[in-house]
């Protein structure tokens, strides 16, 4: 039953801007989308380390990990992927509002689902990063042996093989991991955040 008619929004005294002042930087979501094996987790983990060492409050949300807990009831049908991304979008927003730099690493294969997540945020709070890598290269890397299983039919509806991946239409950043080493991707993302004022102490 939907009880939303009987729920009222509570207005807290402490706002996002107050928490950002405490952290000394802005809250933001860096949303990494791309094929399995494109390098999303590798880049997110390396970026988080660099930011943490620079004194930035971070939180990493990663596909495999979230699917062990919060989203353990979801599979890989179109409907479940959409619900997966919807819930993660809400979680990312909570962490962003806590004043953290959120690194969200999910295949998130559907443009409409990513756009819905984006619509939860104000301008500048959501940065979409397309971690670009050809299917051939992802399959060559196959870090978890999943492409092999997808080709043999052991895994059904596998992104890129038997399920779609829709390339982002207007991502803020494209990182081509066939051309750039991990540390260069980290440098580019760090530079973007610095140049756009995310690390300056909010007034």
Ligand X SMILES: Nc1ncnc2c1ncn2[C@@H]1O[C@H](COP(=O)(O)OP(=O)(O)O)[C@@H](O)[C@H]1O
Ligand Y SMILES: Nc1ncnc2c1ncn2[C@@H]1O[C@H](COP(=O)(O)OS(=O)(=O)O)[C@@H](OP(=O)(O)O)[C@H]1O
Q: Which residues are annotated as a binding site for ATP?
A: 34-41
Q: Does 157 help bind ligand Y (rule: CB under 6 A)?
A: yes
Q: Choose the binding region for ligand Y from 5-13, 100-108, 116-124, 190-198 (rule: CB under 6 A).
A: 100-108
Select 126 or 165, whichever has its Cβ closest to ligand X.
165
End-to-end Cα, the chain, rounded Å: 44
Closest chain position to ligand X (CB): 39
Residue of 59, 106, 121, 147 that binds ligand Y (CB under 6 A): 106
Is 108 catalytic? The answer is yes
Least separation in angstroms between residue 160's CB and ligand Y is 8
Q: Does 76 help bind ligand Y (rule: CB under 6 A)?
A: yes
d(CA 144, CA 116): 29
d(CA 77, CA 133): 23
Burial of 79 (0-12, 13-18, 19+ CB in 10 A): exposed
H helix or E strand, kind and range, residue 190: helix 182-195
Q: Which residue has the tokens 């043999």?
A: 152
Select 57 or 159, whichever has its Cβ closest to ligand X.
159
Q: 146 with 158: CB under 8 angstroms?
A: yes
Catalytic-role residue among 4, 57, 108, 134: 108
Within 10 angstroms of residue 106's Cβ, the number of other Cβ atoms is 26
Residue of 158, 172, 173, 174 that binds ligand Y (CB under 6 A): 158
Q: Does 60 help bind ligand Y (rule: CB under 6 A)?
A: no
d(CA 36, CA 95): 25
Burial of 108 (0-12, 13-18, 19+ CB in 10 A): buried
Least separation in angstroms between residue 76's CB and ligand Y is 4
Query: Which are the catalytic amino acids?
Result: 108
Binding site for ligand Y (CB under 6 A): 36-37, 41, 63-64, 67, 76, 81, 84-85, 106-109, 144, 146, 155, 157-159
């Amino acid at each position: 039953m939907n009880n939303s008619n009987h729920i009222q929004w509570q207005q807290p005294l402490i706002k996002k801007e107050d928490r950002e002042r405490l952290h000394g930087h802005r809250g933001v979501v860096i949303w990494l989308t791309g094929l399995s094996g494109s390098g999303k987790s590798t880049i997110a983990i390396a970026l988080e380390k660099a930011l943490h060492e620079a004194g930035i409050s971070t939180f990493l949300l990663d596909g495999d990990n979230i699917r062990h807990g919060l989203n353990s009831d979801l599979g890989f049908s179109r409907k479940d992927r959409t619900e997966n991304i919807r819930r993660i979008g809400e979680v990312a927003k909570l962490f962003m509002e806590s004043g953290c730099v959120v690194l969200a690493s999910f295949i998130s294969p559907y443009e409409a689902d990513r756009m819905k997540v984006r619509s939860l945020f104000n301008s500048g709070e959501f940065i979409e990063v397309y971690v670009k890598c050809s299917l051939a290269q992802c399959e060559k890397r196959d870090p978890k042996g999943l492409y092999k299983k997808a080709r043999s039919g052991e895994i059904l509806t596998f992104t890129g093989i038997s399920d779609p991946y829709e390339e982002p239409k207007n991502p803020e950043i494209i990182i081509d991991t066939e051309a750039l080493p991990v540390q260069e991707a980290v440098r580019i993302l760090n530079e973007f955040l610095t140049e756009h004022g995310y690390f300056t102490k909010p007034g």
